[in-house]
């Protein structure tokens, strides 16, 4: 079992705006709803990967492309950072129907201590993570894939970070 340092934040409009302001647009937007960034400002020059994880059972808003989701969401939260439901494509959607958590970890298996990663990630976003520690990415990824996306990646991460054991 390979465990890596990971930080997790719960998602709200202000976190999305901090991501956009400090990291810019995602380097990749996936059909499954995931948004990702790479930054080269980690401890000791480590590349950090940031993943905004979709909710379990995610579906894209009608009338949208996964490439447009980030820009339209940021535009809406720029107008009202504390809003909940926003207009996206042909739907009005609550944020908790899109993403549920942001994760940060060393992109290329650099061996970082959780506290060191949490400090660097906090500096990058100007917001401390809600959880930090060690997780088994392989086990969580396999469980998520086998569920067809019906399990929550964030819930599995948090469960491990709290020491509550393996994913269901």
Asked whether the beta carbons of 106 and 5 are under 8 A apart, the reply is: yes
Tell me which of 156 and 165 has the higher pLDDT.
156
Tell me the pairing of strands 48-54 and 85-88: unpaired
pLDDT band of residue 82 (cuts 50, 70, 90) is confident
Q: Strand runs (DSSP E) across 55-157, as ranges?
A: 85-88, 91-94, 99-106, 131-135
**pLDDT value of residue 90:** 93
Taking CA atoms, 128 is separated from 11, 47, 103, 110, in Å, by 13, 19, 12, 21
**pLDDT value of residue 167:** 52
Tell me which of 83 and 132 has the higher pLDDT.
132
Asked whether the beta carbons of 95 and 37 are under 8 A apart, the reply is: no
**pLDDT value of residue 80:** 83
| Closest to 147 in 3D by CA, of 128, 168, 126, 133 | 168
Q: Tell me which H or E stretch contains 51.
A: strand 48-54
Asked whether the beta carbons of 33 and 58 are under 8 A apart, the reply is: yes
Confidence check: pLDDT of 162 > 80 = yes
Start-to-end CA distance of the chain, whole Å, equals: 17
Confidence check: pLDDT of 105 > 90 = yes
> Around Cβ 13, how many Cβ atoms within 10 Å?
20
């Amino acid at each position: 079992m390979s465990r890596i340092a990971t930080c997790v934040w719960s998602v709200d409009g202000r976190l999305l705006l901090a991501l956009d302001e400090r990291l810019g647009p995602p380097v990749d937007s996936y059909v499954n709803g995931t948004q990702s960034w790479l930054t080269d400002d980690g401890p000791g020059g480590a590349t950090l990967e940031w993943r905004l994880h979709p909710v379990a059972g995610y579906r894209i808003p009608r009338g949208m492309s996964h490439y447009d989701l980030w820009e339209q969401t940021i535009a809406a939260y720029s107008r009202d950072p504390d809003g909940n439901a926003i207009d996206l494509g042909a739907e009005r959607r609550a944020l908790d129907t899109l993403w549920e958590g942001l994760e940060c970890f060393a992109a290329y298996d650099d061996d970082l201590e959780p506290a060191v990663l949490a400090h660097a990630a906090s500096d990058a976003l100007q917001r401390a993570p809600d959880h930090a520690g060690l997780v088994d990415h392989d086990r969580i990824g396999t469980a998520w894939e086998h569920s067809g996306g019906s399990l929550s990646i964030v819930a599995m991460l948090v469960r491990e970070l709290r020491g509550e054991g393996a994913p269901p």
